Amino acid sequence: MKLLDCKIRDLKIFVTVVEERNFTRAGEKLFIAQPSISKSIQRLEEELQVILFDRRMRDVALTDAGEIVYEHSKQVLALMKRMETGIEDLSDAAAGQLKIGLPQIIGTFIFPPIGKAYTERYPKVALKIEERGGIVTEKLVEKGELDVGFVVFPVDNPLLYTEQIYEDSFVLCVSANHPLAAREQIELHEVKDEQFIVFAKTFALHKIVMNACERSGFTPHVLLESTQWDLVLELVSVQMGIAILPRVFANKLKNIEIASIPITNPSFKWQVGVITSKKYYHSAALKRFLDTVHEIYR
């Protein structure tokens, strides 16, 4: 007896014939021609190696084996329906844990409204934040150790889905007492003799700033590096050096005396995006998270 060979469609047809007590009415209900109904029943009997109907009777009558198959077929179809409903519900429900790679700087400026909206909508999802640099975050998402990551773009990795969600201009940050503080705009080559305070080499911002300086024809004199954006601005305010930061950074810190000057040449942007793996499964929790990101930053 090859129970696993029985098709769900054949079981559904069989149950409908029994309940309608007629092959023709079953075909009409299922929108299937009567000859196809008969072939389905014959196929089921061959696979189960039993006779399901007593064909000596004018009306549909089950054999003893048919009674057993009928009762169990109803249970199988009910379980299939429950499975289908569960899968459909899953598309609208989110639960479990979501592992998010979040570099500290991006976490400060980009993540809070996303986190608030998501946790209010999907309280059954526990968010686990991994504060790593962009390069490490990219590798962990690629390996499936993180579900999603926020990184500075561009990202050139064929194993990842990438989507930019935010863009900001860079500005030159100087002390309010610096000779350049009154400038309305500046070209980067004009500060080639200044001392720079920059982010650590593990930050994507470090590479962006260094590359911009190189394009302007000089290598900056780096006084010190830091992993803390607020410390960078505090040091700028006491005239230890200058810094190049996204505009949103300069506007965030209050009660410090700095001036932020738009950079006109070269023009470069701080671009932030989300990355997910092309290889690993995207759970309902992850899909709803990405939907939330799109709502806030689109």
3-class DSSP assignment, residue 188: helix
Q: Is the pTM of this model over 0.85?
A: no
Q: What is the pLDDT of residue 4?
A: 47
Q: How do beta strands 243-246 and 160-175 pair?
A: antiparallel
At 293, the pLDDT band (50, 70, 90 cuts) reads: very high
Q: What is the pLDDT of residue 193?
A: 97
Q: What tens digit of pLDDT does each residue of 240-283 get? A: 999 999 999 888 777 788 999 999 999 899 999 999 999 988 88
- Cα separations in angstroms, 104 against 92, 205, 236, 250: 31, 12, 20, 16
Q: How many CB atoms lie within 10 A of CB 84?
A: 10
Q: What is the pLDDT of residue 135?
A: 83
Q: How many CB atoms lie within 10 A of CB 275?
A: 23
| Residues β-bridged to residue 195 | 221
User: What domains lie within the chain, and their CATH numbers?
Assistant: 3-90 (1.10.10.10), 96-165+271-297 (3.40.190.10), 166-270 (3.40.190.290)
Q: What is the pLDDT of residue 78?
A: 84
Percent of the chain topping pLDDT 90: 64
Angle at 216 between CA 210 and CA 220, to 5 degrees: 40
Q: What tens digit of pLDDT does each residue of 104-163 get? A: 888 888 999 999 999 999 998 999 999 988 888 999 999 998 999 999 998 999 999 999
Q: What is the pLDDT of residue 93?
A: 59
**Which range has the worst mean pLDDT, 43-47, 165-169, 180-184?**
43-47
Question: Do 149 and 137 form a contact (C-beta atoms < 8 A)?
Answer: yes
